[in-house]
Amino acid sequence: MTQVENLAINTIRTLAMDAVQAAKSGHPGTPMSLAPVAYLLYNELMNYDPAHPQWAQRDRFVLSAGHASTLIYSILHLAGVEQYKDGKPTGEKAVRIEDLKNFRQFGSRCAGHPEYEHTSGVEVTTGPLGQGLAMSVGHAIASKWFSAKYARDGKDLFGFNVYSLCGDGCMMEGISGEAASLAAHLKLDNLCWIYDSNRITIEGSTDLAFSEEVGKRFEAYGWNVLRVEDVNDLDALRAAIANFKAEKNRPTLIVVKSVIGYGSPNLSGTAKVHGAPLGEDEIVLTKQALGWTYDKFVVPEEVKTLFADGVQKNGVAAYAQWEKEYADYCAKYPVEAEELRCLQTGELPENWDAGIRQMWEADAKGTASRNSSGKVLNQLAAGIPWMIGGSADLAPSNKSNLTFEGAGDFGPENYAGRNFHFGIREFAMAAICNGMATCGLKSYCATFFVFCDYLRGAMRLSCLMNLPVLYILSHDSIGVGEDGPTHQPVEQLASLRCMPNLVVMRPCDANEVRFAYRWYAENKTSPVCMIVTRQDLPTLPRAVEPEGDCCACSCGVSKGAYVLRDFVNPATGTFDVILMGSGSEVHVCLDAQKILAERGVFARVVSMPSMELFERQSVEYRESVLPKACVRRVAVEAAIQFGWDRYLGTEGKFVGMTGFGASAPYKQLYTYYGITAENVADVATK
């Protein structure tokens, strides 16, 4: 290690120490120990241009151990990464010294954990341990897919390498095992995880709860496992990364030995430096031990020059060469170039909706919404070439396979395939889709609705990052029937509806499915849950306007709720009661309306496929659907009541579940739990 390299690494350490101390909270230990890794990757080994942090071919760096956020903030500052907003440079640096001085404070670009789209250069939001690793698998998959799909003339302008830095906590979380197993199976040789084996967690030594040999576990997965005995040995780190780049068949794990809080005379190697500031006195001693003679938050001129001659100079040259070659590519391959432009900007291609324009004809028998979902998914994906995804081993049941010609299966033999077989790994599946989405791919994943509990952590990050990931969740209620309560979701609708920025769609028939998918495709900022049935649902007759693409159904689905059918008093133009539901229970409401009509009771039926979209509408629209003057209301859903009260008011009533289901044919269950037209009519008139 040269003198100036040592100075640069110590700059990272001191910036991290000072930022955490100024905030009086944070995690200084890991940034202090892993500063050599960050320095070497950014200033020497990664293909990266700080002036273009959204460059398509940049190497990705994911700090899975997101609590060590001052590590990435310090290196982004030293590298001079530009801040971007809405795809354009703002003229500011992504991390300014004042941001580091205001670490963890409101308005600073240095939040407690790295946040996607808040600070340029942060590839994904991390903090919940292990998810960064799984998202890095999504990045590696995207890289392979871009190369296979768009490389021409033996030249790859779109593939990149992916590095993720993780610790013992990431390795203990189960999601890392799910993701590592799949990465090995897919032979993602462009993926490198750097594992900081410092053997310390918040409670103390990992001897308390973690005694496995991680390297051997990864060898069993099928990874290329390398070991660096001292993180401060830059030549050993260089050799390990060179080995990774030469590997052509396996992902790589580099096990790096480090001392947490390196340089601290009294706290290094202890849990005390993991999640708390060192304290002013210990910082003075640590800086003395490191030979640091500068004030707080100072970057020596030699270090500025080192990064200017390193990552900044190399990045300018690499990006300029790529830009020239990409211009030639665009001229030679305009179709592919237009696809890539749309992909990177989030736009949809011309005639993307050609396959979904046709309305489904009315059909009393109908079809399960999982079937109509599968058909519309295929029609949509055929029009959006970068829409890719798959299921957690349940595609035949949730109908999430892309079956049109050329779709293919993604894997080592065909990295251009669009069907993913995630295996029974729900959590990793969702996190991988997040990683793919940050690369511009329109990713989706599918499982049974009840298993959304396994992937909820990743779904929450979809919402935080404003990623329009599609979650196809089938077998949506007690309508699952004989599989019993372990497979019958009753509380999941309510739990998902309370997650900010998540749009939950529960369509009542094939045409609502169609328009729900249309809304999903045009949306750029919200993840969408498509909740679909196992049992058949009648396809309702719809009145279509002359243009063929605007009807009560299409407008209503996009607005979350609409008047499906009115039966009003001809003398007054009013109705006595509002019946409302979602999904399969909308048909129960329609049948109940007929029974009420025979009793001389006038009822309005409201279909509410998405509470979230309904809440986004104007007060006037919501009043037109659910007028306050009508206080007699009944909500019907084969789930628990929570969430419906805002529409029921103090006098409304709910027909649905109050506990878990049972194992029996679904029609018998609906009768047993009172989710029938007769009971709804009775409740409405009590």
**Residues catalogued as catalytic:** 426
Task: Tell me how far apart the alpha carbons of residues 253 and 219 are, in angstroms, rounded to a whole number.
Answer: 9
Burial of 41 (0-12, 13-18, 19+ CB in 10 A): buried
**Chain Cα centroid distance, residue 122:** 15
| Pairing label, strands 603-607, 562-566 | antiparallel
Tokens of 77: 């500052």
- The phi-psi region of residue 537 (left if phi > 0; otherwise alpha if psi is between -120 and 50; otherwise beta) is beta
Say how many residues make up the chain. Answer: 686
The closest of 265, 274, 251 to 198, measured between CA atoms, is 274
Structure tokens at 499: 């997650």
Strand partners, 82: 93
Q: Strand pairing partners for 511?
A: none
Q: Report d(CA 116, CA 95) in Å as an integer.
A: 14
Closest by Cα among 344, 335, 384, 338 to 518: 384
Rg (alpha carbons) of the chain, rounded to whole number:
28
Exposure class string for 577-596: b at 16+ Cβ within 10 A, else e: bbbbbbbbbbbbbbbbbebb
**Edge-first strand listing for the sheet containing 60-63:** 60-63, 162-166, 191-197, 252-257, 224-228
| CA atoms of 419 and 416, how far apart (whole Å) | 9
Quote the DSSP letter at residue 155. B
Say how far apart CA 600 and CA 570 lie, in whole Å. Answer: 12
Residue-wise DSSP of 324-353: HHHHHHHHH-HHHHHHHHHHHHTPPPTTTT
Please give the DSSP secondary-structure letter assigned to residue 43.
I
Q: Other C-beta atoms within 10 Å of 48: how many?
A: 26
- With contact defined as beta carbons under 8 Å apart, do 159 and 412 qualify? no
User: What dihedral angle (degrees, nearest 10) is formed by the CA atoms of 617, 619, 624, 625?
Assistant: 50
Beta bridge partners of 474: 448
Contact predicate 603/576, CB 8 Å: yes
- CB-based burial, 493-529: b 16+ in 10 Å, e otherwise: bbbbbebeebbbbbbbbbbbbbbbbbbbbebeebbbb
For 365, the enclosing helix (H) or strand (E) is: strand 363-368
Q: Are 528 and 361 in contact (CB under 8 A)?
A: no
The position carrying tokens 């999640």 is 275
Task: Give, to the nearest 10 degrees, the angle between helix 452-464 and helix 131-150.
Answer: 80
The dihedral of CA 636, 638, 640, 642: what is its sign? negative
Chain mean position to CA 233:
36
Q: Which residues contact 73 (CB under 8 A, 6 or more apart)?
A: 15, 19, 95, 99, 100, 103, 109, 110, 114, 119
Q: How many CB atoms lie within 10 A of CB 450?
A: 21
**Contact (CB, 8 A) for 260 and 68:** no
Residue 456, CB half-sphere, CA atoms under 13 Å: how many? Answer: 14
